[in-house]
């Protein structure tokens, strides 16, 4: 049971920090940021911002609930990898470090699943 509590914490806290520190500010400033947001994969600034908000708000919410956890973790991990290797590619280590740390949290959930304290486990989605 202690491992499942650990997985719950691994889903809960990084996801809350992601929403509060990164996704929510983007969502609140959507109108102002949509024309200037980076377009790292050529989809346009608005589409890139929408995809980032999905990865930094909605996927972490799914992670907190433990619902479609592996899919949500994969989407957010992909966004963190784009941030590290494309958006901040030329930046110093300090600019990349946080995205890599978040990426590791989501990689662990992608590999391990959300644990028994999740909706996925209760519904047999894992």
**Which of 96, 99, 82 is CA-nearest to residue 22?**
99
| Structure-model confidence comparison of residues 123 and 32, the more confident one | 32
The pLDDT, as a whole number, for residue 126 is: 63
pLDDT in tens, 38-85: 999 999 999 999 999 999 999 999 999 999 999 999 999 999 999 999
- Model pTM? 0.91
Residue 87's alpha-carbon distances to 37, 48, 59, in angstroms, are 11, 12, 20
CB contact set of 44 (below 8 Å; sequence gap of 6+): none
């Amino acid at each position: 049971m202690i491992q499942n509590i650990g997985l719950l914490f691994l889903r809960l806290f990084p996801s809350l920090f992601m929403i509060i520190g990164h996704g929510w500010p983007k969502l609140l400033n959507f109108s102002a940021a949509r024309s200037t947001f980076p377009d790292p994969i050529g989809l346009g600034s608005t589409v890139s911002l929408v995809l980032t908000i999905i990865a930094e708000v909605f996927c972490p919410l799914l992670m907190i609930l433990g619902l479609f956890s592996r899919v949500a973790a994969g989407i957010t991990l992909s966004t963190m990898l784009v941030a590290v290797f494309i958006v901040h590619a030329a930046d110093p280590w300090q600019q990349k470090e946080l995205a890599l740390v978040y990426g590791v949290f989501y990689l662990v959930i992608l590999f391990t699943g959300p644990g028994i304290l999740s909706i996925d486990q209760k519904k047999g989605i894992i």
